[in-house]
Structure 1
Amino acid sequence: MSLKRVVVTGLGTTNPLGGDVASTWTALLEGTSGIRRLDDEWTADLPVKIAGRVAVEPSEVLERVKARRWDRSTQFAMVATMQAWTDAGLDGVELDGTRLGVAVASGIGGVTTLLDNYDALKEKGPRRVSPLAVPMLMPNGPAANVGLYVGARGAVNAPTSACASGNEAISMGLDQIRLGRADVVVVGGTEAAIHPLPMAAFANMMALSKTASGDDGRDPASVSRPWDTGRDGFVLGEGAGILVLESEEHARARGAKIYAELLGSGISNDAHDIAQPDPEGRGGTRAIQLALASGEIDPADVHHVNAHATSTPQGDIAEGLMLHAVLGKRASEVAVTSTKSMTGHLLGGAGALEAVATVLAVRDRVSPPTINLDDQDSAVELDIPTKARDLPAGDIVALNNSFGFGGANVAVAFGSI
């Protein structure tokens, strides 16, 4: 039995570079950074004072009453979903809700709601805890609210695999359609963890860049520097990315525009360490191989990779080893980029935002640059453009890699159509 072909018909995002897809894509191609110094009073005693806040606050887009009932992570997901749903031409379209699914991920969930309500409990007593706290803080809050918005009566999933969560949601959507359980699935990821506790925790475990103090006079925009010899940790970002997936048959029957085809996905685990990646990249290699195999993709057809590359010393090298293991000599010829150099790391939303960028790279046949790459690590033998670069004509495939704490690895492959 041949598998159903799955296509992308809608895109939406809000992130440190822009409040929509168009502004984000322009900023990515221009090599713009969304990393800024935070001016909140609570940053005073933190070891890290820079991050990638969203360029457009959700309060500028959402109805105030509704927004107050949602955690910030859900607000981001809703902003991006509204864009993607409209972009797909589905506003006002009657769909069979039982054939409509959702898979929207978060790595941490409603952490700001949880911590703010705990503060209220300690300072003002139990009666000041919000009656909406539980539906706001639960990890499936974003997915559930997206499901309510679009009227999904199929599976509504909220995968949680740390920084691989967004890509895992995309993989789940692919499976739902291929297995014949849905015609349309809204997929993606969201995260809102710019808060003193998560930032202190990441800083104390030495995951965030030590140059991100914000007190040393260094330009915050220069701190996220994947593959550079001066890299020393990631910069935290926030936001969401959402894609509308459809079976090709369903999309063409309604005359939808199609950005790209979602060809395949692969999921694996390192079984190595709760936080550190396998230094040899064996689990990630397997995920990429599975993505190519599930899409029946020849490695020779891969021309672009949006890498996980967070700007950590060990992880960036391991990903290079993965690409060489899968692509062979061509790993040094494929245009590889890390858009985290501009957006920071959106944790559970990272893979989804990067999937949006990967789809646009396939559509427009151009690779965004990696910025701040002044001295490429000699251990990373990859072709990493520092300016936007045209991709070849003809049929092309692009990979989007995500790896997360717990050893989670997810790769997805998009192709031109």
Structure 2
Amino acid sequence: MSRFDIAITGMGLATAAGIGVAANWARICAGAPAARTDPTLAGQPVDFSCRVPEFDANELFGRQLAWRLDRFVQLAMIAAREAVTGSGHDTAAWDGTRVGVVIGNSLGGTATFEAQHRVFQDSGAEDVSPLMIPMGMVNMVTGYVAMDCGALGPSLTTATACASGATAIGVARGLLDSQVCDVVIAGGTESALSPATMAALHQMGALSKRRDDPATASRPFDVSRDGFVAAEGAGMVVLERAADARARGARIHALITGFGSASDIHHATAPDPQGAGLERAVRAALLDAQLDAADIAYVNAHGTSTPINDAVEARALTRLFGTDAAVTSTKGITGHPLAGAGAIEAIYTALTIQHATVPPTVNLRDIDPEINLDLVTGAQRGMRVKAAVSTSLGFGGNNAALVLTAA
């Protein structure tokens, strides 16, 4: 059986590292953390986050459309527009019935729900907005992106917590392999930095408490890590069969050659202590790609900066790759974009392959002595990467892995 390759022909990003792929890559390679005190969280135990900078929805969409969209949808639409434009496709000319949309999201429009709940409490039922449901529903992001680009094929939303974006790309891969679609816009998005949601994450013990120095709070794989920095963001890709992309002369940023998914069945929020589910997901992705672990030069790790996740992930990656693959986490810069993470980091992995540059793991000063990986620290590392893995883990025991290779 021959290997099935899908091409990334367009990429789009809206993260705390900036709006647009170029701005993101420059900041990721420079190693400049984005975490800042967040005025919307004033008075809370954790009052900092990673927000997308200089994002003016009214300017980007026009006031009439912007006020109908929750921010998680706005971020996805901006990223999708960049990806489609970069792919070279003309949405006015393509056969929309052969174009699908698959986007990962986990928490939906939390800011909308919280705001309307306050209205309900303060003013009563008659003042609650009729737009609350269509603004807050998880699946509305795929609906709006499909409407924005004329995609008439399947419109699907994946919800596998912080693995949602990677899962969406895996599902998109299946739609292309089965010939259901010729083009799929896929990715992940999240904007859940609303007060009640952040309070809940704090109560769970998931967030870093370093209010005195937010910029250094996210410390993936560092011995002093104490939790993640919550972030918003969206990453979107345009995917098509590699043969089709080459036939139309498209620029191929990288190939997605493998996808794997596996469950922990261990705990609602804690990963399997040995990382068994993640290891199964990576091995499944490698099998799909018809590659061995020895073929992988780079791993873009989930690396959240929580004590449990980083230790668990390191155990699995050590069994898989030892110290033969360079490893990095970009969450020291972007924070943790939750459902958006897998897609955003898949794009960073594609850029690593494309530019022969591995970005640094920021704020990693003292590697946890129990972690034995080739972690890239301090500054970016120039190296040729033919094959790489991007890993994602999520609540509910969700694990996902993507294998990307050079075109």
CA offsets 1:81-107 (integer angstroms, 9 cap, x no match): 111111111234522222111111111
The answer for the alignment partner of 2:170 in structure 1 is 171
* Conserved 8 A contact 1:58-1:79: no
Q: Are the aligned partners of 2:285 and 2:403 in contact in 1 as well (CA < 8 Å)? A: yes
Structural mapping, 1:115-130, within 5 Å: 115-130=114-129
The answer as to 2:23 corresponding to 1:23 is yes
**Residue 372 (structure 2) pairs with residue 372 (structure 1):** no
- Counterparts of 1:2-401 in structure 2, within 5 Å, are 2=2, 4-40=4-40, 42-44=41-43, 46-59=44-57, 60-92=59-91, 94-211=93-210, 214=211, 218-327=212-321, 331-386=322-377, 387-392=379-384, 396-401=386-391
Contact 2:83-2:238 within 8 A present in 1 as well = yes
Read off the aligned partner of 2:401 and give its amino acid letter: A
Residue 267 of structure 2 aligns to a residue whose secondary structure is coil
Listed one character per residue, the Cα deviations across residues 132-153 of structure 1 (whole Å, up to 9, x for unaligned) are 2111111101111111112222
After superposition, the C-alpha distances for 1:319-365 in whole angstroms (9 at most, x for unaligned) are 111112222xxx31311010001100000001111111011001111
- The SS at the match of 1:153 is coil
Whole-angstrom distance in 1 between the partners of 2:207 and 2:304: 10
Q: CA separation in 1, counterparts of 2:45 and 2:324?
A: 39
Quick one: structure 1 residues 225 and 285, their matched pair in 2 at CA, closer, same or farther if it must change by over 3 Å? Answer: same
Contact 1:4 1:177 in 2 (8 A): no
Distance in 1 between the 2:148 and 2:179 partners? 23
Contact preservation (8 Å) 1:224, 1:311: yes
CA contact (8 A) 2:99 2:152 kept: yes
Q: For the structure 1 residues 92 and 184, does the alpha-carbon distance in structure 2 shift closer, same or farther, using more than 3 Å as the test?
A: closer
Q: Secondary structure at the match of 1:29?
A: helix
| 1:259-300 C-alpha deviation (Å, 9 max, x unpaired) | 010001000000000001111000000000000000101222
Counterpart residue type for residue 255 of structure 1: G
8 Å Cα contact 1:306/1:336 also seen in 2: yes
1:39-59 C-alpha deviation (Å, 9 max, x unpaired): 23x521x11011001113142
Deviations 1:45-76 (A, max 9, x none): x1101100111314242222111111110000
Contact in 1 for aligned 2:114/2:194 (Cα 8 Å): no
For 1:332, what is the secondary structure of its paired residue?
coil
1:218-244 CA distance string (max 9 Å, x none): 321111001101101000000100011
CA distance in 1, matches of 2:369, 2:170: 33
Q: Which amino acid aligns with 2:359?
A: P
SS of 2:375's partner is: coil
Structure 2 residue identity aligned to 1:391: M
The Cα offsets for residues 378-405 of structure 1, whole Å up to 9 and x where unpaired, read as: 1110111111001226xx1111100000
The 3-state SS of whatever aligns with 1:54 is coil
Query: How far off is 1:196 after superposition?
Result: 0.6
How far apart in 1 are the matches of 2:306 and 2:274? Answer: 15
Give the superposition deviation at 1:192: 0.7
- In structure 2, what is the equivalent of residue 416 of structure 1? 406
1:12 aligned counterpart, secondary structure: strand
Tell me if structure 1 keeps the 8 A contact 2:3–2:290. Answer: no
TM-score (norm 2): 0.97
**3-state SS of paired residue (2:161):** coil
Q: What amino acid maps onto 1:55 in structure 2? A: P
Distance in 2 (alpha carbons) for counterparts of 1:376 and 1:61:
42
How much does 1:249 deviate?
2.3
Deviates more, 1:127-136 or 1:66-75: 127-136
Q: TM-score normalised to the size of structure 1?
A: 0.95
The verdict on how the C-alpha distance between 1:135 and 1:47 changes in structure 2, with shifts beyond 3 A counting, is: same
SS of corresponding position for 2:51? coil
The Cα offsets for residues 1-56 of structure 1, whole Å up to 9 and x where unpaired, read as: 6454210000001111111110010000000111101123x521x11011001113
Letter of the 2:185 partner, please give it.
V
CA distance in structure 1 between the partners assigned to 2:145 and 2:336 by the alignment: 23
Structure 2: gaps of 5 or more residues: none
Could you tell me which runs of 5 or more consecutive residues in structure 1 were left unpaired when the two chains were aligned. Answer: none
- The one-letter amino acid of 1:389's match is R
Higher deviation after alignment, 23-32 or 53-62: 53-62
- 2-structure distance, mates of 1:160, 1:56: 28
Q: Which amino acid aligns with 2:396?
A: G
Please tell me whether the aligned partners of residues 187 and 237 of structure 2 are also in contact (alpha carbons under 8 angstroms): yes
Paired AA for residue 411 in structure 1: A
Alignment: residue pair count? 405
- The alignment's C-alpha RMSD in Å is 1.3
In 2: Cα distance, 1:129 partner to 1:74 partner: 20
Is the CA contact (8 Å cut-off) linking 1:103 and 1:185 kept in structure 2?
yes
Q: CA deviation at 1:250?
A: 2.0
